Amino acid sequence: MYPDLSYILHGLLGTDVDNAFSIVKTFGLLLAIAILTSAYFLNLELKRKEKQGLLGATLVKTVVGEPAAISELIINALFGFLLGFKVVHIALNFSEFQADAPGFLFSAKGNVLAGILGAIALAGIKYWEKDKQKLAKPKIEESLVYPSDRIGDITLIAAFTGILGAKFFAIFEDMSNLTMDNFFHALFSGGGLAIYGGLIGGFIGVVWYLKKHKINVSQVADAVAPALIIGYGVGRIGCQLSGDGDWGIVNELAQPSWWFLPDWLWAYDYPQNVLNNGLPIEGCEGNYCRALAKAVFPTPIYEMVMAFVIAGILWALRKRLPVPGMLFCVYLILNGFERFWIEKIRVNAEYDIFGYHPTQAEIIAVLLFLIGSVGYFVLRKRGEALFN
């Protein structure tokens, strides 16, 4: 396993593990790559739809030549304070930061003086920039902005609300051990993300943004469907490489004689996993020297393969479904189907509902499957009415 970047570089170049590069966790690195990959494919689809006239531009008016607004100065001052507050403290306590970068970043520890200087500096820079461009009489400029021009904003909104949703769903996945103290610790820790929480949170955030800017939600939903599942597949690579606990149950099945793939695809013990779960590895050096006592189903790999298969199906269908929203419904159906069955061999907290013990992901998967199925047939009927 490669719990952080230092282990990846060790595998590639033979450098020491647990060095300064260990602050970059493998799962976080692949999560960032997944977000950028999704943004790339979303941008491709948005531009295609714009060329076909399915998505239009909106007229945006911008005031040029005004001095810096108080709100702009406050936002820059707050950002400058946080930057100075943390960066100087990290430089002075790097070993502590290296041991737990996310926990360190989200803690209340920092350098107040550096924060104040950072606030003054960034607020001053913003004031100077706006003052340099100030006109005696501010003017209004108009421009056409296409949805693809907003890809950066859409990606940031999706990432922020998605991670927030993933956090909350992960916290509430196991209600039995939830207290006010561990709620805030879990919320501001670097681990614990529930993919469906991310999907729902990101969906709410992006829909709000699209409606605010009067962009067709159904067309963008269809454009985002392949991008989402591709990003999901890339994210699962991060789960596998880091050994973040998203593995399956113990695989006690005998490997069949016809199995021609590597043994670790049948059952894997995740040596040097980032959670440090399991038994000590003899002769291992470094901070991550444990492997699971019993080999489990490597479900992240299975999900990665299924995600890319679903992505291929959606990519092939994206020009063939006539009614906006249908492709997104197909995504919900396939996503729900895949996740429901993979949950049968995954480790997750279970609920007790009238004697049935589903996981949170199973419940959401069923709901997504049903919503997607109903939505698909409603839209199909609407399309038949329109084109007949």
Say whether both 238 and 265 belong to one domain.
yes
Say whether both 239 and 371 belong to one domain.
yes
Predicted TM-score (pTM) of the model is: 0.84
Say whether both 216 and 74 belong to one domain.
no
Say whether both 260 and 221 belong to one domain.
yes
Say whether both 37 and 123 belong to one domain.
no
Say whether both 268 and 331 belong to one domain.
yes
Residue 110: phi, psi to the nearest 5? 175, 180
Among 115, 141, 167, where does a domain finish?
141
At 215, the pLDDT band (50, 70, 90 cuts) reads very high
Q: Which letter, b or e, does each residue of 41-59 get, where b requires 16 or more Cβ atoms within 10 Å of its Cβ?
A: bbbebbbebbeeeebeeee
User: What's the number of domains the chain is made of?
Assistant: 2
pLDDT at 302: 97
Say whether both 190 and 53 belong to one domain.
yes
Say whether both 134 and 169 belong to one domain.
no
pLDDT at 101: 76
Say whether both 35 and 114 belong to one domain.
no
Which domain range does residue 94 map to?
64-141
Q: Provide the token pair at 1.
A: 């396993």
Say whether both 91 and 213 belong to one domain.
no
pLDDT at 246: 87
Distance CA 139, CA 141 (A): 7
Q: Name the burial class of residue 345, with classes exposed (0-12), middle (13-18) and buried (19+) by CB atoms within 10 angstroms of its CB.
A: middle
Owner of token pair 């493998």: 26
Say whether both 129 and 272 belong to one domain.
no
pLDDT exceeds 60 at position 174: no
Residue 15: phi, psi to the nearest 5? -70, 165
Distance CA 300, CA 236 (A): 5
Say whether both 40 and 114 belong to one domain.
no
Closest of 362, 270, 377 to residue 323, by C-alpha: 377
Among 141, 169, 192, where does a domain finish?
141
pLDDT at 177: 59
pLDDT at 166: 80
Among 100, 125, 141, where does a domain finish?
141
